[in-house]
Amino acid sequence: MLHERLEPIYEVVVERNHGEVEFHQAVREVLESIGPVLAKHPEYAEHKVIERLCEPERQIVFRVPWEDDRGEVHINRGFRIEFNSALGPYKGGLRFHPSVYQGIVKFLGFEQVFKNALSGLPIGGGKGGADFDPKGRSDREIMRFCQSYMTELHRHIGEYTDVPAGDAGVGGREIGYLFGQYKRISNRYESGVLTGKELAYGGARVRTEATGYGCAFFVQEMLAARGDSFEGKRVVVSGSGNVAIYTMEKVHQLGGIVVACSDSDGYVHDEQGIDVELVKQLKEVERGRIGDYAQRLRGRFLRGRRVWEVPCEVAMPSATQNEINGADAVTLVRNGCIAVGEGANMPCTPEAVRAFQEAGIAFGPGKAANAGGVATSALEMQQNASRDSWSFEFSEHRLEEIMRDVHARCHDTAAEYGMPGNYVAGANIAGFTRVADAMLGLGLI
């Protein structure tokens, strides 16, 4: 339920952003948590901090023309939402996927503001991308698209202004092409303008693993707060991309057993534990389908089925938004799930979140649980600024420290506001108050 003073704010958001349902959902989820904050901090309402937070500082939409290998010209639409810079330069990934439109990018940017605030690092929030489908495209086609995209984007970014990174459809290959074009146009080796780079040209160790590792660390902290651990737990991870792969890798290192993962075709179920190295080979090298796993090794592939039907103690949705609905949540609870960590951005519908919370499950929302990726991006910026390079062990240690701190902020803030164990409220309030205080300090801008 929305606080009576927040209802009209939400109505204005819906009215001003027609059809952007994901953005509406993200805003409502935050507003439902921060009602108690207004009683403690009336200055936020007086200075209309909430209304200002719900309106991006800048929204950029542009044409991206490019030519495929047959010489046919294609036109895509590019986006960059520079949402809030109260804490530092805009920071957030680029997503290349046919589903990308203004509402998706805006929801991701809004979430990024709070996620970045929770990290405790000096970075604001933004997001970008294009409705381009990299699936089935050659390396040269990907390169031409990235170069065209950066030809426009370069005028809006910079290491002290806006620092993009990767997201779905944008990995090390794409970041390399984007950075190469930026360097060519700007005539500057400005390493800190993009993160997620390869190690050979300014990347940071653990950046590839960071979101997945960080999510596993966060769930580990939630379990520890209940006197439990990953040890011997059956874990289901949706997706088989970067986040899913490194979530699985770290879960195995922490003693859990990942028994299923998926892609858009269906899921593979392996009770002996998913072989992460084989998944890496299939997805990162061969760019194949998860169905090939069962043919190569063991287990069953179930085409067109939902991975959430597999019994588990821990569920880690790591694919896309709204992938767990209310019915899936009920199934997970019925099958003995005790913890959920969102590796993707907003992968659980509001109905699913309610079902988990009513069942007393430890639920880690994406803006907290998957903050490891952007936190390590900020560490990459730090290394670029000092012309330094840290070891894998030191970088992973810093990531674990940050995720432990993120968990503590969420856990302690929820308790402070009378909602112990409610990580959704804790994350939203802790992130909101940090950004709101910075906005008040900067004046009416």
Q: What are phi and psi of 162, to 5 degrees?
A: -155, 125
Q: How many CB atoms lie within 10 A of CB 226?
A: 12
Q: Counting Cβ atoms within 10 Å, is residue 116 exposed (0-12), middle (13-18) or buried (19+)?
A: buried
CA distance 61 to 218: 35
> Using N-to-C axis directions, what is the helix angle for 372-385 and 392-416, rounded to 10°?
130
The predicted pLDDT at position 253 comes to: 98
* Contact indicator for 402, 375 with CB cutoff of 8 Å: yes
Q: Counting Cβ atoms within 10 Å, is residue 368 exposed (0-12), middle (13-18) or buried (19+)?
A: buried
Distances (CA, A) of 119 to 71, 159, 250, 406: 45, 19, 20, 6
Distances (CA, A) of 235 to 152, 350, 400: 42, 22, 20
Confidence band for 346, pLDDT divided at 50, 70 and 90 = confident
pLDDT over 90, % of the chain: 93
> Reduced to 3 states, what is the DSSP secondary structure of residue 314?
strand
* Contact indicator for 146, 166 with CB cutoff of 8 Å: no
Query: Which tens digit of pLDDT belongs to each residue from 389-398?
Result: 999 999 999 9
The predicted pLDDT at position 67 comes to: 98
Query: Which tens digit of pLDDT belongs to each residue from 48-59?
Result: 999 999 999 999
Q: Name 127's bridge partners.
A: 81
Confidence band for 359, pLDDT divided at 50, 70 and 90 = very high
Query: Which tens digit of pLDDT belongs to each residue from 118-165?
Result: 999 999 999 999 999 999 999 999 999 999 999 999 999 999 999 999
CB environment 46-62: b (16+ within 10 A), e (fewer):
eeebbeebbebbeebeb
Fold match flag (7-189 vs 210-359): yes
Fold of 7-189: Rossmann fold (3.40.50)
Average pLDDT over residues 436-442: 97
Average pLDDT over residues 202-213: 93
Q: pTM value?
A: 0.91
CA distance 251 to 260: 13
Query: Which H or E run contains 431?
Result: helix 423-442
Close Cβ partners of 330 (under 8 Å, ≥ 6 residues apart): 355
* Contact indicator for 166, 203 with CB cutoff of 8 Å: no
The predicted pLDDT at position 147 comes to: 98
Known catalytic residues? 127
The predicted pLDDT at position 96 comes to: 97
Average pLDDT over residues 21-34: 94
> Reduced to 3 states, what is the DSSP secondary structure of residue 142?
helix
Cα dihedral 157, 437, 114, 27 sign: negative
CATH placement of domain 210-359: 3.40.50.720
Q: Counting Cβ atoms within 10 Å, is residue 288 exposed (0-12), middle (13-18) or buried (19+)?
A: middle
Could you tell me the residue ranges of all domains in the chain?
A: 7-189, 210-359
The predicted pLDDT at position 35 comes to: 92
pLDDT over 70, % of the chain: 100
Close Cβ partners of 344 (under 8 Å, ≥ 6 residues apart): 238, 239, 243, 317, 318, 319, 320, 321, 323, 366, 370
Helices (H) and strands (E) in the chain, counts: 18, 12
Question: DSSP characters for 188-237?
Answer: S--GGGS-S--GGGT--TTTTTHHHHHHHHHHHHHHHHTT--STT-EEEE
Q: How many CB atoms lie within 10 A of CB 177?
A: 20
Average predicted confidence (pLDDT) for the chain: 95
The predicted pLDDT at position 168 comes to: 87
Question: What type of residue sits at position 38?
Answer: L
Quote the DSSP letter at residue 265: T
